[in-house]
Structure 1
Amino acid sequence: MVMKTTKQKSILFLKILIVFFIVIITSLYFLRDTILNEAIANLKSKMELDYNSNFTVKKANFEGFTDLSLTEITLTPRNADTLFSIQKLRTSINIWKLLTGEIQLGTLEVQNGFVQLVKKGNVKNFAAFLKKDNQESIKSSKKDYAEIAYRIISKVLNLVPTDMKVENLVFKLDDNAKRATIKIDKLILQNKNLETSLHIKTNSFSQRWKIKGYADPRGKRADIRFFNLDTGAIKVPYLDERYNLISSFDSIRLKIENINKSGNELHIDGFTSIANLKINHPRISRKDVIVKNARFDYRFLLGADFISIDSSSTVQLNKIKLHPYLAYETIEDTVYKLKIALPKTKAQDFITSLPDGLFTNFQGMEADGAFNYSLNFQYNINKPKELVFDSKLKKENLKITKYGTANLNKLNSEFIYRAIIKDVLQRPILVGTTNPNFTPLDQISPYLQKSVLTTEDPSFFNHRGFINEAFKQSIIKNIKTKKFARGASTISMQLVKNVFLTREKTLSRKLEEILLVYILENNRIASKERMLEIYFNVIEWGPNIYGIGEASRFYFDKNPSDLDLKECLFLARIIPSPKKFMYQFNDEGLLREFAVKQESFLTNIMTRRGLLSLEDTIYKQQTLNITGAAKSYLRLKVKDSTAIDSIPTFDEFSL
């Protein structure tokens, strides 16, 4: 009897609950238009008060229980261009999600509209919305990256309808007359199949694209491809005018296989691939950089206090495959980590996989053997001196069998050197004994050799082209200043840059320099003594002055073997800016105070290192005199040439 009563009570409770939901749903049904109009009124007020913008909807009403219809929707910031305008929008909302406070769209139809971002001078029609976002982000103190990311992704995907039809919707960008428009002629998402055609137009080109693939916003999966409907590659709009970056590709594929939050970690897995990517930018390379095939199999991991790309991810560049690990951690301090693991790779596969245009001096190079490589980088912003930079390369019968454009073997024989300054080829310099200005190493003053090695590369005879500690200090300095404020160039690197490369400040030149130096030093192509000898005979030492033979005569009218210590210290100090040597002197032809201090500093370093003795420094009693043709570059005070005794005396006037 008790059991029956309990069962009856349960049935009664269930009936009451059902009636309660029916009443709520019925109330919502009859009040839905009132609630909708009130929500629009609140949104209008919020746009006006918080964003100083005008939000209008000409007509809004429900069609059925969940279908919502809106016409002539606009958002216009005060004293700025309209942000968006849509003629007709129809959508359905998941009522059950709405009851829990979530907005999830079911279907969406959009007809005739535009969204535009406009910047005129310093006035942006979207500025108020950016400021609001910044203020809200500042208020947030402790961040749980996994939770924040998952919440944002979920909200965005809930706003992506499962069925969608968009016609004649245009996205416009106008950045002070730098314009780009993306017109969606037709976009259809039905039964998780996506297909759309786009018309892209900028000041410089017009193209038609097609996007096709699979999209399941509720299952958090997608597989989408971009193609060009016209002939040629897909050009990326806006970047060419805004950043002088010209880029294009044949096709892109983006696949999201999994978005899953398990415990305190968020996992995002998938891959993206691109075919025939072409990039052109003056800071990257003077030529088009072409990547034929690239693929990134990614696994993003986010936790409460870290964001990372897991080491199980793979980057493939033609035949090269490597595993990257990147992390941003805030567990105790803010720490940046980067690890790269390149498994055993055939040397020839590596050479042929290098992007065209980025390593032009390696074209035609051939090699035997294999190698693997690893890099470990770690930077703690609160403990910069503890920076980790560990680079290792392990070779297996690695041998260069044929050189490309940069034939490193030429260092062992006579060759013609021509400097390139601001794209202008300078006069030819014969590096060899046939040239009377060429000076063998044993005929260069030991003082000069010691001085130059001290200023440019003290460990030249001991390193293999690079100095890890110098790299570390360079990285620390550049991170602190947020710019490239310090390099870590060795004499080996300067030699390669002078003889085989140009002085252009591009990523391409720097990467080529690093690889060429490694090959030169680690394959012992030329001895250290020969490398130093060439360095002394090719570097710029003044206006149109190349090599120590020309420099010693230009400044002091001497042979390089006859230079004294003071003259050698001067020549070593001006290497970074040889064409500005005249600013070292005052109008009397004497070294300025800052130059004297530099000279003294260099002398003290060399003395402490045992490169100079007390007897060597007797020169301090002497004065540096520029006696060669360089003297004409000094800005000397003109002395009064009138003889004192030519002025008439008082007695002469009285005669």
Structure 2
Amino acid sequence: MRTRKQKIIRFLLAICILFALAFTGLFIFRDSLLQKAITKAENRLATDYNCTLTIKDAQFDGLNGVTLHHIVLVPNQADTLVAVEKVKTSVDLFQLFTGDIQLKELEMKNGFVQLVKNKNGRNFDAFLKKEKENNNESEKRNYAKLAYRLLTKALNLVPTNMTLHNLSLRMDDMGRKVTMHLNDLNLEGRQLQTTINVQTNTFNQNWKIRGMADPRNKTADLRFFNSDTSKIKVPYIDERFNLLSSFDSIHVNVSRIKMEGNELHVDGYTSITNFTINHPRIAKKDVIIEKARFDYRFLFGEHFVAIDSSSKAQLNAIKVRPFAEYKTEKDTLYTLRLEIPKMKAQDFITSLPKGLFTHFEGMQAEGDFDYKLNFQFNKNNPNALVFDSKLQKDGLKIIKYGEADLDKLNTTFTYRAIENGIPQRPIVVGPSNPNFTPLDQISPYLQKSVLTSEDPSFMSHRGFINEAFKQSIVKNIRTRKFARGASTISMQLVKNVFLTREKTLSRKLEEILLVYILENNRITSKQRMLEVYFNVIEWGPNIYGIGEAAQFYFQKKPADLTLKECLFLATIVPKPKKFMWQFDNTGSLKGYANQQQDFLTNLMLRRGVLTSEDTIGYKLPFTITGRSRTFLKLKTVTDSIPVDSLFIKEMVY
């Protein structure tokens, strides 16, 4: 009778024999399995992607090694996508059997990947089509599992030891060509190093990559820099988008990719030095960020993707704590919170990117401040938008202004509008100009009309209106374009007097900061700001200031303007050069123009800005009488006389 010990031994022996037989069978039929896998790949590429994959030779080397020769992937009726002379790798036999492949070693030489777009289309279009939707809704919405699965599969395809020789990535987008060629890349003992030659239609550089890469432990620490002392230029986007950008070096670190409970954590940091960017929509000159670093923690949950609040961003001496989240658990929510901890105002000024805030160069400040922004947008309920911006000051004071001399608002100065980069005729803002009109000599109706239509709370706000920003954001998101701004009179004044009309990011950011300084440092009074505003803004073609406008439209002085005339002037402020389109061919206001003025009048009546006595005579016929009338497309006398009448008149004579 067998003992229990003997039974266990026999059982283990049977298991070992079974595994040995299975392994032997797997070893014997491994070439068949390899050919089957290749055939499956060929069929899928042909069926799903309309491509032809050919592999001239495929065989096992040793126990786990696989060598492929002359691999070519060609989309039908398009340029070759991939061509490689030799690929040698090692694959675990059981992984090959299960399909969960994890590469250990990889050797690849003499080949290229080629992305081409021409008049016939793109040779990679088939690979951009959407995958079939997953019927399991909960799985589709589980961002943590989805991200972890994708990252794991991608990293499993990165071998722990790798040698690449004479390989290229080629891109040709309608003649915009980029070739990134590496002679040798080595990854051994987690250490990676390579040099990449980058050639475009505009430059030729050699980039170096050095550092640590450990795909199995999901960590990396890599540095990108140029082989000489010049900056790395970013290819393709200079020709494609007219965007020039370069940098000294980039440091990328991934310290952890790990599932913790139902959340995926991705931690690390990235830094860049002397990042330079140039584009007409950003600024007129190079914008330079000397040092920037982002210590990140990305979180993926079942229903959300987020940048955790423990993340830190730093721009020179400016430190920011961000939190951003996209959440779909109930409603689709977009959340952004930013916090700048208490810092010295002077450090903030000197840390601003060079070239982006030219009017602040040389500015000096004292005191400290901190800042917080809270923004949330509910896609299913846009009107519930949250926009809360708070600046806390501690002895904050500007003691020296930069290029923008804000003190000039209190003196006589010369204003020159800029149109398409060309300075217009000089306008003296002061008593020496006969058209200059002090505020107390401007019709109260005009002041009330313009304030109501442009900035009702001008006399009480500090340059910005949070509610206006909120409504502007909601409107722009709904229309998916910049359909509404939130400019106050303070912002319009700064834009006209100190800045240009160029539509750049630089100009808009400078406008915001200059308005804050103007409104919060008691540089001038609200009355003086309004007076300058009325005397510098454009009221028509080459018409600047209310003194010129009153003569141009009505042959009057600003003090003598009627309510109806003031309403008209207020409605053309947004588009003064197009005033003529408000009139028909008889010189009368069109219906929509009358409706616009009626709306403004009723609004002022409801707010108590006007009384019913102010509107006496409001319905009397309105017309313009000054030189502006020559801009109207009026019907001539002959246009109004019937043809028969002209014929009879000619017969009589």
Q: What's the TM-score bracket when you normalise by the shorter of the two chains?
A: over 0.9
| Alignment equivalent of 2:288, drawn from 273, 281, 290 | 290
For 1:170-185, list aligned pairs within 5 A: 170-185=168-183
Q: C-alpha displacement at 1:138, in angstroms?
A: 6.4
Residue 101 (structure 2) pairs with residue 141 (structure 1): no
Deviates more, 1:50-59 or 1:227-236: 227-236
User: Using the alignment, how far apart are the partners of 2:416 and 2:89 within structure 1?
Assistant: 69
- Aligned partner of 2:619 in structure 1 is 621
Matching of residues 525-604 of structure 1 within 5 Å: 525-604=523-602
* Partners of 2:134 and 2:278 in 1: CA distance: 37
Q: In the alignment, which of 322, 332, 336 is matched to residue 338 of structure 1?
A: 336
Tell me the distance in 2 between the aligned counterparts of 1:532 and 1:649: 59
How far off its partner does 1:223 sit?
A: 0.5
Instruction: Name the counterpart of 1:111.
Output: 109
CA distance in 1, matches of 2:229, 2:521: 47
**CA offsets 1:407-460 (integer angstroms, 9 cap, x no match):** 111111111111111111111111111111111100000000000001100111
3-state SS of 1:399 partner: strand
User: Judging changes above 3 Å, is the alpha-carbon distance between structure 1 residues 307 and 115 closer, same or farther for their aligned structure 2 residues?
Assistant: same
d(CA) in 1 for partners of 2:69, 2:32: 17
Which residue of the partner structure matches residue 494 of structure 1? 492
User: What secondary structure, in the 3-state scheme, does the structure 2 residue paired with 1:620 have?
Assistant: coil
Q: Which amino acid aligns with 1:286?
A: K
Looking at structure 1, the residues matched to 4 and 416 of structure 2 have their Cα atoms a distance apart, in angstroms, of: 101
For residue 510 of structure 1, the aligned residue among 495, 508, 511 is 508
Alpha-carbon distance in structure 2 between the residues aligned to 1:511 and 1:477: 21
CA distances 1:502-526 after superposition (whole Å, capped 9, x unpaired): 1111111111111111111111211
Output aligned runs, 1:107-256, within 5 Å. Answer: 107-121=105-119, 123-131=121-129, 134-137=130-133, 141-142=137-138, 143-256=141-254
Structure 2 match to 1:405? 403
Give 2:8's aligned residue.
10
TM-score, normalised with respect to structure 2:
0.97
Overall identity of the aligned pairs, in %: 59
Partner in structure 1 of residue 522 of structure 2:
524
Distance verdict in 2 for CA 1:217–1:120, change over 3 Å: same
Q: Cα distance 1:30–1:577, how it changes in 2: closer, same or farther (>3 A)?
A: same
Counterpart in the other structure of 1:433: 431
How many residues are treated as equivalent by the alignment?
648
8 Å CA contact retained: 2:589, 2:623: no
Offset of 1:647 from its aligned partner? 7.4
- Residue deviations 1:14-73 (CA, integer Å, cap 9, x gap): 222211111111111111111111211121111111111100000000001110000100
Q: What's the CA shift for 1:10?
A: 2.2
Deviations 1:217-251 (A, max 9, x none): 11111100001013410000011111221110000
Secondary structure of 1:615's counterpart equals: helix
Q: Work out whether residues 339 and 376 of structure 1, in 8 Å CA contact, stay in contact via their aligned partners in 2.
A: yes
Q: CA deviation at 1:616?
A: 1.5
Q: RMSD across aligned C-alpha pairs, in angstroms?
A: 1.9
Superposed structure 1 runs of 4+ greater than 6 Å apart: 644-650
Change (3 A) 1:437 1:91: same
Q: Which residue of 2 aligns with 1:634?
A: 632
> Which residue of the other structure, out of 445, 452, 455, is the alignment partner of 2:453?
455
Mapped partners of 1:50, 1:208: distance in 2 = 38
- Name the counterpart of 2:59: 61
Change (3 A) 1:648 1:579: closer
Contact 1:98 1:104 (8 Å CA) reproduced: no
| Structure 1 residues 557 and 26: CA distance shift in structure 2, 3 A | same
**Partners of 1:324 and 1:469 in 2: how far apart?**
23
Number of the residue aligned with 2:416: 418
Residue equivalent to 2:305: 307
Higher deviation after alignment, 633-642 or 592-601:
633-642
Letter in 1 for 2:198: I
Task: Tell me which amino acid in the other structure corresponds to 2:234.
Answer: V
Which residue matches 2:70? 72
Determine the C-alpha separation between the residues in 2 that align with 1:11 and 1:438: 109
Deviation at 1:611, TM superposition (A): 1.5
Matched with 1:473 is 471
Distance 2:232 2:576 in 1: 47
Q: Distance in 2 between matches of 1:95 and 1:482?
A: 53
Query: What is the identity, as a one-letter code, of the residue corresponding to 1:235?
Result: K
Q: Counterpart in 1 of 2:379?
A: 381
Q: Distance in 2 between matches of 1:323 and 1:249?
A: 24
For residues 139 and 230 of structure 1, the distance between their equivalents in structure 2, rounded to whole angstroms, comes to 53
- Give the drift of 1:254: 0.3
1:565–1:619 contact (8 Å) kept in structure 2: no
User: Aligned to 1:270, which of 262, 268, 271?
Assistant: 268
Q: CA deviation at 1:216?
A: 0.6
Counterparts of 1:141 and 1:237, CA distance in 2: 40
Residue type at the aligned position of 1:141: E
Partner SS state of residue 340, structure 1? strand
Name the amino acid aligned to 1:157: L
- Residue 418 to residue 138, structure 1, CA distance change in 2 (3 Å): farther
Shift of residue 100, structure 1, vs aligned partner: 4.8
Where 1:208 maps in the other structure, the secondary structure is: strand
SS for the counterpart of 1:438 is: coil
State the partner residue of 1:328: 326
SS of the equivalent of 2:147 reads helix
- Distance in 2 (alpha carbons) for counterparts of 1:495 and 1:520: 10
CA contact (8 A) 1:291 1:356 kept: yes
Counterparts of 2:647 and 2:308, CA distance in 1 = 90
Who is 2:352 aligned against?
354
- Whole-angstrom distance in 1 between the partners of 2:545 and 2:88: 77
Shift of 1:137: 4.7
Residue aligned with 1:292, SS: strand
Distance in 2 separating the partners of 1:259 and 1:242: 34
CA-CA distance at 1:366 after TM superposition: 0.4
Cα deviation for residue 11 of structure 1 reads 2.0
The answer to whether structure 1 residue 392 and structure 2 residue 390 are counterparts is yes
Post-superposition Cα deviations, 1:249-308, rounded to whole Å, max 9, x if no partner, equal 000000111111111011111110000000111221121110000000011111111110
Distance (whole Å) between structure 1 residues aligned to residue 550 and residue 327 of structure 2: 55
Cα shift at 1:620: 2.5
> Which runs of 5 or more residues in structure 1 are unaligned?
none
How many angstroms apart in 2 are the aligned matches of 1:109 and 1:21?
31
- Distance verdict in 2 for CA 1:24–1:613, change over 3 Å: same
Equivalent positions of 1:29-44 (< 5 A) are 29-44=27-42
Q: What is the one-letter code of the residue matched to 2:187?
A: L
Secondary structure of the residue aligned to 2:456 is coil
Deviation of the 1:5 alpha carbon: 2.9
Deviations, residues 379-431 of structure 1 (Å, cap 9, x unaligned): 11011111100100000100101001111111111111111111111111111
AA matched with 1:435: N
Using a 3 Å threshold, how does the CA distance of structure 1 residues 482 and 647 change in structure 2: closer, same or farther?
closer
Counterpart CA distance in 2 for 1:558 and 1:113 is 80
Could you list the per-position Cα deviations for residues 572-628 of structure 1 after superposition, in whole angstroms to 9, with x for gaps in the alignment? Answer: 000111011111111111111111111111111111111122221122332222111
Note the alpha carbon deviations across 1:170-223, whole angstroms, 9 max, x for none. 001111111111111110001110000100011111101110001111111110
Distance in 1 (alpha carbons) for counterparts of 2:579 and 2:349: 42
